[in-house]
Structure 1
Amino acid sequence: MEKPRFRAALLRPRYWLTWLLFVLWFLVAQLPYRWQLHMGRGIGRAMLRFAPNRRTIAERNLALCFPELSQAQRMHLLHRNFESSGIALMETGMAWFRSARWLRRRVAIEGLESLQALQAEGRGVLLMAMHFTTLELGAALMGMSITLDGMYRPHKNPVYDYMQRKGRERHTADGCVYQRKDVRGVLRALQRGRAVWYAPDQDYGIKQGVFAPFFGAPAATVTGTSRFARVGRAEVVPYMVTRLDDGGGYRLKVYPPLDQVPSGDEQRDAVLVNQFIEARIREAPEQYMWVHRRFKTRPEGAANIYEGVRKKKKKRRRVAT
């Protein structure tokens, strides 16, 4: 895709509120780091109270995935998770509006050498991210460390879309962006030895996936990880960004390649990928995005675990001209 371009249509009055919110977001991102953590926790506590649908989704996900915990333990985890979600809003501002130097001071990186060695050899890398609340900040930190391409879904609000792409691409000057449906473009990039960011741990339906266990429950799991690695002749390299509890910043850990993927069996690969992700979630369960409907696609005859949760109404997309 071509680089994001500013257009005069983005200044139309209907977008003024969006621009104002971005100005405020920019200003908040300039505050001291610990202040932002404190503000984020407060936002998360407000979300817990005033976003009942999201709360219900998270509660049911946690009940399904952690049956061994008591009700009190799951409630404590729920509160910490929403605080983490609020902090994620602050971290998105950090990623989009703070300098690379400011960000580097707050992260300790492990295992990057093996990834850099793969790139030096001209090997394609499917960089496997996971939907932790540090996702946006983690992508920025990785983009500052290696040449990184990304997969992208446009936002309905054209101003938000423009700012999102500018924010994400500012730390990856040599990176390319591919529409999520541009499978051929991603495969060509991998075959050329590029590193492509990819996150397989959401429910995208069963048409392009299989049911594989996730915390012991059947979850619709995309098989794209196997296919991208096989056809793109790429290594699957996971990484994870963890927010330190003491407010001291972050740990970015790059793991060794998943050498068993692809195995030639997409079902087996989906199980292996889910097992790896589950193990990482157990290391920091409060930082995972439990507000997503990870189990919305169910096997035939299985009950809907989100019964009663109101679905978002689909809005028509406005196109700026």
Structure 2
Amino acid sequence: MQPLSRKLRRRRRRTPAWHPRALLVWLLIATGWCLARLPLAPLLRGGALLGRCAWRIGGRRRDITETNLRLCFPELDRSARAALGREVFRHAGIGIAETLSVWLNPRRNLAPRVCLEGADALRSAAQRGGVLVIGGHFSALECVGPALASALPMDVVYRRNRNAAWEWLQVRGRRRYFPNVIEREDTRSLIRALREGHIVWYAPDQDYGPKHSVFAPFFGTTAATLAATGRIVRLSGAAVFFASQHRDEVPGRWTVRLAPIEDYPGSNPVADATRINALLEQAIRIDPAQYLWLHRRFKTRPDGVPDPYGRASKI
């Protein structure tokens, strides 16, 4: 095992488990454990209600969501964007309920409720070597994990949480189904896993700052997009697939779509980033409300371009 860099060790410092913030999260986890025992249908309805209430309360995440929708869907008028925003929060609430069910109730098996499209192609590619599965932050992300893991054992890359309680929950919840849970900044372990023939799920669709990013269009707006994705593929020699997941119209049913990305990466990092963003945009347009618009996707701007989030970036 390679030693962690000083920068990575510093970033791993976190809120102690006995800190008041962590204690509050432990209380929420205990509540979630109880709720996860509810039948699936009322649990998901409760999640939808939570999302609607969060939209009404407003706050920073609503401001961020409204800004993202204004930038990405300029063809919609204010009323239509507000309706879409409400649906985004409703789906986010359902996603929380789904995550509780998957992470905190091991007896519940959602795998039979998930349709996997393209699994045979991914399985065939994995027989020849490692595969990097590029995904995005859709609100149905966690609940399809058990189905993916049962059909195609894979590792996952995640972003470490500074709160010890949240960190314990997300790592424990994912390790129920995935053999290895790799921290996002531990690139060496990621590349090693791919070289060893693993399938690894990886989501490069958040803004991680300018250092390792290039600017590429996303819904017609310039977005800082990780350039490391292409380097990871080049260094590991892995095949590449794109994955998206959506809730079906029938409640309690989901679909995961897997498709190979050919001839990636190319010689131009900006063109590569543009290509990945276009695939993600195409998947989002299936049902825009199911994407997690609650994060600041456009916080890093080119020189001279103002921060679109204004007050929401400072809270």
Check whether the contact 2:171–2:181 (CA below 8 A) recurs between aligned residues: no
Which of 70, 77, 93 is 1:63 aligned to?
70
Q: Distance in 2 between matches of 1:189 and 1:212?
A: 28
Taking the aligned partners of 2:297 and 2:145, their CA distance within structure 1 comes to: 21
Matches within 5 A, 1:242-257: 242-255=246-259, 257=260
Structure 1: which 5+ runs fail to align? 2-8, 313-321
Tell me the alpha carbon deviations over residues 82-106 of structure 1, each in whole angstroms, 9 at most, x when there is no partner.
1011111101112212347621132
Which secondary structure state, in structure 2, belongs to the residue aligned with residue 283 of structure 1?
Answer: coil
CA distance, structure 1, for counterparts of residue 308 and residue 24 of structure 2: 37
Q: Flag the 1:206–1:17 CA change in 2: closer, same or farther, 3 A.
A: closer
Unaligned 5+ runs, structure 2? 2-15
- Give the alignment partner of residue 26 of structure 1, picking from 27, 33, 48: 33
For 2:200 and 2:231, how far apart are their aligned partners in 1? 14
Q: 1:275 aligns with which of 250, 274, 278?
A: 278
Cα distance in structure 1, aligned partners of 2:261 and 2:297: 23
Indicate the SS of the match to 2:131: strand
Cα distance between partner residues in 2 of 1:204 and 1:13: 28
Overall identity of the aligned pairs, in %: 39
Counterpart contact for 2:134–2:242, Cα < 8 Å: yes
1:264 aligns with 2:271: no
Distance 1:129 1:51, change over 3 A: same
Q: How far, CA to CA, are the matches of 1:261 and 1:244 in structure 2?
A: 30
Deviation of the 1:140 alpha carbon? 3.6
Relative distance call for 1:195 and 1:303 in structure 2 (3 A) is same
Contact (CA 8 Å) 1:100, 1:171: kept in 2 or not? no
| Match in the other structure for 1:299 | 302
Name the CA distance, whole Å, in 2 between partners of 1:106 and 1:99.
15
Deviation per residue, 1:239-294 (Å, 9 max, x gap) = 11111133141111212x11031112211100100111011111110001111100
CA distance, structure 2, for counterparts of residue 222 and residue 301 of structure 1 = 21
Which moves more between the two structures, 279-288 or 148-157? 148-157
Given the alignment of the two structures, is residue 204 of structure 1 paired with residue 208 of structure 2, yes or no? yes
Q: Is the contact between residue 243 and residue 256 of structure 2 (CA under 8 Å) also seen in structure 1?
A: yes
Deviation at 1:41, TM superposition (A): 1.2
CA apart distance, 1:303 = 2.0
User: Residue 144 of structure 2 aligns with which residue?
Assistant: 138
Tell me the TM-score normalized by structure 1.
0.88
- 8 Å Cα contact 2:154-2:200 kept in structure 1: yes
**Partner residue of 1:317?**
none
> Cα–Cα, structure 1 residues 13 and 265, in superposed 2: closer, same or farther, change >3 Å?
closer
Q: Cα 1:179–1:15, aligned 2, differ >3 Å: closer, same or farther?
A: closer
Query: What residue is the counterpart of 1:228 in the other structure?
Result: 232
Q: Could you tell me how far apart the structure 1 residues matched to 2:107 and 2:236 are? A: 31
Which residues of 2 match residues 33-52 of structure 1 at below 5 A? 33-52=40-59
Offset from partner CA, 1:139-172 (integer Å, 9 cap, x none): 3432232221122333223233222211111112
1:239 is paired with a residue of what secondary structure? strand
- AA of the residue aligned to 1:280: A
1:22–1:186 Cα change, 3 Å: same
Going from structure 1 to structure 2, the CA distance change for 1:28 and 1:187 (only over 3 Å counts) comes to: same
The more displaced of 215-224 and 32-41 is 32-41
Shift of 1:15: 5.5
Corresponding residue for residue 6 of structure 1: none
Is 1:111 the equivalent of 2:111?
no
User: Which letter maps to 2:271?
Assistant: R
TM-score normalised by the chain length of structure 2: 0.89
Mapped contact 1:104–1:141 kept (Cα < 8 A): yes
